[in-house]
Amino acid sequence: MDCASAYAAWFDRLREGAPVLDTPRLRLRVPEMADFERYAGMFADADTHHIGGPLLRADAWRRFLQMPGAWFTQGFGMFSVIEKSTGRFVGQAGPWQPDGWPGTEVGYALHPEGRGKGYAVEACTAAIDWAFEALGWEEVIQSIAPANTPSQKVAERLGAKNRGRGSFQSPHDKLEIDVWGQTRAEWLARKAMSQ
The model carries a pTM of: 0.92
pLDDT of residue 195: 81
* pLDDT tens per residue across span 36-95: 999 999 999 999 999 999 999 999 999 999 999 999 899 999 999 999 999 999 999 999
139 or 194: whose pLDDT is higher? 139
Complete domains list, the chain, with CATH: 3-194 (3.40.630.30)
Conformational region of residue 157, where left means phi above 0, alpha means psi within -120 to 50, and beta covers everything else: alpha
For 103, which DSSP code? Answer: S
Nearest to residue 90, comparing CAs of 60, 61, 118, 111? Answer: 111
Contacts of 14 (CB under 8 A, 6+ apart): 30, 68, 71, 72
- What pLDDT was estimated at residue 11? 66
